[in-house]
Structure 1
Amino acid sequence: QGQSLAHVGLYLRNPVFCHGQLYVALSRVQSKKGLHILIHDKQGIAKNTTINVVYKEVHANL
């Protein structure tokens, strides 16, 4: 099963492909204090949001 971590760092250079990827990474950290996220846009400028990319066609036949 999942492993719990005191510190988790995420470097998001690109939008997250699947919400499951982001959920798993975020759910591993034990507290908000131990979570650090660095998000850059295509120009390398730091941002405070990212895009959650979901391809509905992939999920349509599940």
Structure 2
Amino acid sequence: MTINKAQGQSVVHVGLDLRTAVFAHGQLYVALSRCTSPLRIKVLFAEDKQDMRTMNIVYQEVLPNL
């Protein structure tokens, strides 16, 4: 299931593939917050990742100028 399809649902098990960065601001939060227990969350990081972080990518060109 995609992150967008999971929005608004409760999910028993969540698996995230973070070998590539999360596409939009807030998607990682949405993905993690859908799970009913933090003990049922599994995250896959790239093999070369030591610090277990992912980039938050925001495309400024698609945001309206404020």
* TM-score bracket, shorter-length normalisation: 0.7 to 0.9
Q: 1:1-62 counterparts in 2 under 5 A?
A: 2-40=8-46, 44-47=47-50, 48-61=52-65
Report which of the two has the higher share of strand.
1
Any unmatched runs of 5+ in structure 1? none
TM-score, normalised via structure 2 length? 0.69
TM-score, normalised via structure 1 length? 0.73
Structure-1 separation of matches of 2:45 and 2:25: 16
Give % identity: 54
Any unmatched runs of 5+ in structure 2? 1-6
